[in-house]
């Protein structure tokens, strides 16, 4: 396995990403930022993971929002 020191997603599971986003924004905020029914209608980690694992475009949006959240938190700390 190759080391990826500059990839902030390396070694993180989709469940970890989703948990961090829910902790930061809540389900309502996550549903506003990424308009997917699994975030807006009776959301849960399990149902969202099931959908995201089957749907590459939705997973990309979640990963993108996670990266944005990381950049934003670094900006606020500086």
pLDDT tens for 52-64 read 999 999 999 999 9
Asked whether 60 and 15 are in contact (CB, 8 A), the reply is no
Quick one: tokens of 36? 């997917």
Q: What is the pLDDT of residues 6-55, one digit of tens each?
A: 888 888 999 999 999 999 999 999 999 999 999 999 999 999 999 999 99
15-77 to CATH, choices 1.20.1250.30, 1.20.1420.20, 1.10.720.30, 3.40.50.2300: 1.10.720.30
Quote the pTM value: 0.88
* Chain-centre distance for alpha carbon 50: 14
Asked whether 9 and 18 are in contact (CB, 8 A), the reply is no
């Amino acid at each position: 396995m190759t080391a990826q020191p500059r990839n902030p997603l390396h070694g993180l599971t989709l469940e970890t990403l989703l948990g961090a986003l829910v902790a930061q924004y809540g389900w309502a905020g996550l549903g506003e930022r990424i308009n997917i029914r699994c975030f807006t209608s009776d959301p849960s980690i399990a149902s969202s993971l099931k959908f995201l694992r089957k749907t590459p475009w939705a997973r990309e949006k979640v990963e993108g929002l996670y990266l944005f959240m990381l950049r934003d938190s670094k900006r606020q700390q500086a």
